[in-house]
Structure 1
Amino acid sequence: MHAIIAKASKFCTKLEYELFRPVFKPVFASSKCCISSEQLPVRARERQIHLPEQIRPSHNEPSRHDLNDVGLFYTIPPEDFSRLCPNPGVGNGFSVRYLEDMKAFNECAVMIRRPALEVINYLKHSDFSRPVQRYLLYGDSGTGKSMTLQHITHYCMKEGWLILPTMYAWAWNMYRSRFRLTQRDEVLESQWKSERYDQPLMATQWLGMFRELNSQLLKNITTTKEYTWTKREKTEPGKALENLVDLGISRPRIATDVIGSIMREIRCIPAENRPRTLVTIDCFEALFSETWLKKKVGSSERLQPNELAFFYNLKKLISNTWTNGAVVVASSGKFTTEKEKSSAMLEGHLIYDIIGSEGFDVLDPHVPVEVPNYTHDEVLAQIAYYKDRKWVLDTALTNEGKQEIVYMACNNPLNLELVCGGFV
């Protein structure tokens, strides 16, 4: 029994989820739990745990959620989800783990939590004539920072904001392919600035997500200057941003430069000539951490974050030199550092250790918003949701079984998912 507990703890902390979980197997028997009821304290064994009967709010509009809805699950409609996640995979705001659960549950449900309501309340009452306010979501690994960011993004999308998303920024400083032959096409020297490097594949994917999120807005926003791409191609002033995006998608070689032009236009277009704008970045510390990319495939010289053209332009965008918008970033609790010419993923608990002094300088001033572990009521609401979706069977939901689930999860959302979905 103790060996099973140690194994479970190891997988929970290192987040080695895919290696341990049998996908889509909604079975959880309390008799096979990692601890027995006799190992619980006497008071815990005697306490009766009752799951909430109501797990859904009366409405699914994020703008109408309030503190009375905390712990309830609202559903993102399929048409909204297709805009938030047009091409499921690397670089999207929803993890592969969540997408698998969503397919099994046949819906995209998000728990309403206080950190998301706090930021949404700030956005509702901000003075957008002043420089953009920046918000930093931080917390331990697995507490739900990415889902909180998606809740905020969904709210702004429904309110008609222009959204510039960077979901899973770590995808920008590592190779997508394992083979050197294809890695050569992933990082190319910039045609605009020789000291910076473009990422055509990632840039076209970002442009596709940007177009899907803002399809109804791009045709009404026009450029303010002329952009020359080649000797024969250029974009005249007054052209719709929609044309600029389509050009970048059809011409991957200049896609990164097109993104830089879009970000420049957001900063330079007068506030009255464009809609309110939201900039989101998940895994914010990736902008300041060591990369796995190399200047030349096969060499040992790694690229620095400031040498990536996308990161360079993104750092300029999150500065507070423009108005009529907001910036919301989230940390992943991980960072890399150069050690013997290799990058190793490390975990941090203090936000200064994660984003470093450069990250604080770029984001200063900002409003920090902690995303903590679940409260006891939120843990019970999550178990009730799993029961509603038939992910946890009734045979496991005896009073002792619920105690064991709560005990193993330690109030951490990711651990709770691991316990209910993987240890059978």
Structure 2
Amino acid sequence: MFLRRSGSLSLVLRPTTFAISPFSTATAASETTHKGREEFRTGESDPANHDQSHLARFYTVPADVQKQIYLHGGYPKTFERQIKTFTESCLMVRQPAVEIIDYLRRTDFQRPANRFVLYGKDGTGKSLVLAHLLHYGFKQEFVLVHVPWVPNWMKRPKETANSSSHEGQLDLPLDGAAWLSHFKHQNAKLLTKLDLKVSREYVWSKRETTPAGASLLELVEHGINRVKFSCNAIAALLGELRQQSTEGKLKTMVVIDGFNAFFHPHTRILAENKVRVTPDKLTLTKPFLDITAPSWSNGVCILAVDRMALTEDRMESELPMYLLRREGFEHLDPFVPVRVDNYSEEEFHSCVQYYLNRKWVQITKPGFDKELEFLSGRNPFKLMQLCASL
């Protein structure tokens, strides 16, 4: 047991156990087991049914869904640790997610793909809103094209290699193969059900080809098994998805976090002459820019821009115009900006009640929630940090 004190704030925090502390009061226990549970939870676990009546409440992501769509990314690392501790995956239903879900219900998918851009200050929960929308896309049988965090490719690639098909560009073969594994894990069941075929022959080398009419999953597996060709396989896959979505064979949802990293002036990757490589010199960049362009239909793009996605010093503003720069802004224009703010008073109350319910926070004095509110400014990430284990 650890005791954390901040000013007059006194909280008992437990990193791995939920046993009731002698410091907890009978009043708090009654609140969390009866009234609190009704206030902060909703029994509606299907995001397609979430609306204004579910705002500021937590819903439980089923364990099988969590393993299928978030196993290789989608949750921030700090949130993943919290899930392991709480032994359940719960997401709060927030206004930005409900707003976009409502837009999607009324979308005419025969028109060019709409682009939504989430933005907001650091730590407001943009990644978790994306996770909520990813679950929505999964339940609505969209093929998911999900990049959990673009800066991982720009800042810390696993390996780089000169591209054999694009002179002067670099492949990220291991990162490409890892992304294809992520794509397959999320979509294998749906792709098998849809029985999609590649529209043309793809030649990888003198001895290796993927013939026209082969399963789309064969294309994916080739990129996984032959890491050398993983980036080319991604380009072929995303091209097929754009074409076949437009033909009405499937629906595609593109979800990318840290999208503005594609438009930063430099990466942290050094070329042979020790000069920093620009994002456009990576073969992974163009396929994801193509699929976020309005040149195809029967799909949607939901993107998040973030100051932490930049490879250099963070910019002062969190607005899309600044983070995307002129090139990125013009690439997405027109798009629908959706702001993600700090918790509202109701959301903050629900989050504190959830922590109390999981015995993660145990009160020692009245008014502790007001002090938490003051210290965190209702910022979701700061609140999580204040309530984290020592």
> Same-fold call, TM > 0.5?
yes
2:253 matched to 1:253?
no
Name the amino acid aligned to 1:414: F
- Structure 2 residue aligned with 1:358: 327
- Structure 2 residue aligned with 1:182: none
How much does 1:300 deviate?
2.4
Gaps of 5+ in 2: 24-34
- TM-score, length basis structure 1: 0.81
1:287 to 262, 271, 274: 262
- Structure 2 residue aligned with 1:36: none
- Structure 2 residue aligned with 1:412: 379
Counterpart CA distance in 2 for 1:421 and 1:25 is: 13
2:201 matched to 1:232?
no
Deviations 1:248-282 (A, max 9, x none): 11000000100000111122226345211101110
Name the amino acid aligned to 2:267: T
2:179 matched to 1:206?
yes
2:153 is paired with a residue whose SS is helix
How much does 1:348 deviate?
3.2
Asked if structure 2 preserves the Cα contact closer than 8 Å seen for 1:24 and 1:101, the reply is no
Asked if structure 2 preserves the Cα contact closer than 8 Å seen for 1:172 and 1:202, the reply is yes
- TM-score, length basis structure 2: 0.88
Counterpart CA distance in 1 for 2:88 and 2:71 is: 16
Counterpart CA distance in 1 for 2:115 and 2:368 is: 43
Deviations 1:11-63 (A, max 9, x none): xxxxxxxxxx9955889x9x9xxxxxxxxxxxxxxxxxx96742211321111
1:111 to 92, 96, 109: 92
Asked if structure 2 preserves the Cα contact closer than 8 Å seen for 1:221 and 1:273, the reply is no
2:297 to 310, 323, 328: 323
Counterpart CA distance in 2 for 1:301 and 1:206 is: 26
Q: Percent identity?
A: 30
Name the amino acid aligned to 1:216: K
Name the amino acid aligned to 1:67: Q
Select between 51-60 and 155-164 the one with higher mean Cα deviation.
51-60
1:268 to 240, 243, 247: 243
Counterpart CA distance in 2 for 1:315 and 1:347 is: 25
List aligned pairs for 1:105-184, cutoff 5 A: 105-176=86-157
Counterpart CA distance in 1 for 2:6 and 2:214 is: 61
Gaps of 5+ in 1: 9-20, 32-49, 178-185, 338-342
How much does 1:344 deviate?
3.9
List aligned pairs for 1:5-24, cutoff 5 A: 24=16
Asked if structure 2 preserves the Cα contact closer than 8 Å seen for 1:139 and 1:333, the reply is no
- Structure 1 residue aligned with 2:74: 93
After superposition, the Cα gap between the structure-2 partners of 1:335 and 1:217, relative to the gap in structure 1 and judged at 3 Å, is closer
How much does 1:351 deviate?
2.4
Deviations 1:139-166 (A, max 9, x none): 1010010000110010110111111001
Counterpart CA distance in 1 for 2:245 and 2:90 is: 37
- Structure 2 residue aligned with 1:183: none
Counterpart CA distance in 2 for 1:336 and 1:272 is: 36
